[in-house]
Chain A
């Protein structure tokens, strides 16, 4: 199996490290594999005989970018490989550059594993149809909930169930801020600064605190699990920036806390701060993610775990990779 890694930020590097580290174990699942292409936003390297990942990781660490031997577009359009791991950064506006990368691969009948939310939010149905038409697969476990199994849990383990609704915590940064506000009863701004210092919130936290990231994930979950054809604009979205310590105080006095909840039903998609009973499974602390899935046969199923991090995301990508190789061997 020849793998191309498109995107070499923290997720791409995390995947490369796991592919190196777990080579013996992974061979048992996916057979012999080699990474033939690795690209980043500046350039990339290609070797049909297989690249030395250790050396590539070293070059990236030292120089900050890869040599300009090939570009991402060269790889996805023209070069020879079997599976694409597309892990460029998310762009919610138009899905690029990931959308083009994924389209080009699928058109060539090459299956794609991605952690990139943008293309799936912008063009979910188009990409799924394109994959089917070309006898390829598009796997995207890593786009939602980080290491937490969501997509394959519903599609494989809960196969045959109708997913009636989902409710969950899909953004670890917001959950950290809210659970700290609950504990300290301090203003949002102070806790946000703390989260920035700890590297939990970014310098510009808009994407997280305005519920944009959670909404993108909700759209993917609703489309993949519930067969909807929802778009980002369909999500009724309220962020956490206006929450006050008093809100937590009054909520707690009445047995509630406040969490940013992403909810999808057949009637609406909503990301907003909600009152959550303090003993409810979704009243979780820290940067964790969790999802409560309501089904017709299995009833309610609850999953919880780490929603971000390069190794955690690599976990989801590797499991997609194994799943792909199994299904291709079966067919």
Chain B
């Protein structure tokens, strides 16, 4: 069980930007769980929102936020999740066609749970794809709740959810 921090930073669309965020994370002992570029949500100023999920010591969070902001990087939002519990699951179906973003957002919007890792395999166009997902929440109860939300969304979209034992 470790502390999870997720943040959305707005980066300029040119090389070498991401490393500026990762450097302080690494220096403060953070472990990067996932990085998602939201290229479809580009800002009016041409910046790309990037969502970063990290595991980091609670006492280092304030310092990290300060250091990133001092570099002139815009942190749109951040969210700390204490004592996370994590579970893995598989989704099988037309995940992309049915708007993956929306499926993931439904979880992220809860504020108590997040999709912290995702791997998608698409065999061929129009064939069902498979996603391996790691879901994190503040406690067991909330994890169950977020799993239920995900299952409801997937049922509506005809996506099969394979839960862990």
List residues of chain A with CB under 8 Å of any chain B CB.
167, 238, 242-247, 249-251, 253-254, 256, 258, 261, 272-277, 280, 282
List residues of chain B with CB under 8 Å of any chain A CB.
88-90, 92-93, 119, 121, 123, 128-132, 160, 162-165
Partner of A251, one of B123, B132, B160: B132
- A258 engages B128 (CB within 8 Å): no
If A246-B121, A250-B130, A251-B132 touch, whether A167 touches B163 (CB-CB below 8 Å) is: no
Could you show 13 A-B contacts with beta carbons less than 8 Å apart?
Answer: A167-B165, A242-B128, A244-B92, A250-B121, A250-B130, A253-B119, A254-B132, A258-B90, A272-B163, A273-B160, A275-B89, A275-B90, A280-B165
Give CA–CA (A245, B131) in the complex, Å: 12
The B interface, classified by DSSP as helix, strand, loop or mixed, is strand
Partner of B123, one of A246, A273, A275: A246
A268–chain B nearest beta-carbon distance, Å: 12
- A274 engages B164 (CB within 8 Å): yes
Give CA–CA (A251, B130) in the complex, Å: 10
Partner of A243, one of B92, B123, B165: B92
B132–chain A nearest beta-carbon distance, Å: 4
A274–chain B nearest beta-carbon distance, Å: 5
Q: B92 to chain A: which residues have CB within 8 Å?
A: 242-244, 247
Give CA–CA (A247, B132) in the complex, Å: 8
- A242 engages B160 (CB within 8 Å): yes
A257–chain B nearest beta-carbon distance, Å: 10
Give the residue name and chain of the A residue nearest to B127 (CB): A244
Supply 17 further A-B pairs (C-beta < 8 A) apart from A250-B121, A275-B90.
A242-B92, A244-B128, A244-B130, A246-B121, A246-B130, A247-B90, A247-B130, A249-B121, A249-B130, A250-B90, A250-B130, A254-B88, A254-B132, A256-B164, A261-B165, A272-B162, A280-B165
Give CA–CA (A256, B165) in the complex, Å: 10
- B132 engages A258 (CB within 8 Å): no
Q: A261 to chain B: which residues have CB within 8 Å?
A: 165
Q: B162 to chain A: which residues have CB within 8 Å?
A: 247, 251, 258, 272-275
- A275 engages B88 (CB within 8 Å): yes
